[in-house]
Amino acid sequence: QVQLVESGGGLVQSGGSLRLSCAASGRTFSSYVMGWFRQAPGKEREFVAAMTWSGGNTYYADSVKGRFAISRDNAKNTVYLQMNSLKPEDTAVYYCAADRALTTAQLMAATAYDYWGQGTQVTVSS
């Protein structure tokens, strides 16, 4: 059973930085795609970033390109989301997700992922 546990959320001022972590367990993740999504109150869950665990290919939503970076630590089975230059509109609950062998089109769709973490709140004050 795949388990994903996020951490690192919190309250930060506009322009600040946070690093989210997603600790993965229960599988060998070499063939998995790892994604980060976020959901603000009253809005749908939206794609933020994703990467292939094996090749390290990365993908970003246009709204976070140049500000956020997704990375992984193979030894710790952990995926990170470094968030810089945060804006109030980045406020949301951030979720880590995982699934096997998604296509480039699929990895940006929340419905394509079978495994999810519990979420961590990020609040950016103006």
Position 45 scores a pLDDT of 97
pLDDT at position 107: 94
Instruction: Write the burial class of residue 122 (CB in 10 Å: 0-12 exposed, 13-18 middle, 19+ buried).
Output: buried
User: What pLDDT tens digit does each residue of the chain (126 aa) get?
Assistant: 889 999 999 999 999 999 999 999 988 787 889 999 999 999 999 999 999 888 779 999 999 999 999 999 988 999 999 999 999 999 999 999 999 878 888 999 999 999 999 999 999 999
Q: Which residues contact 3 (CB under 8 A, 6 or more apart)?
A: 24, 25, 26
Q: How far apart are CA 40 and CA 90, in angstroms?
A: 8
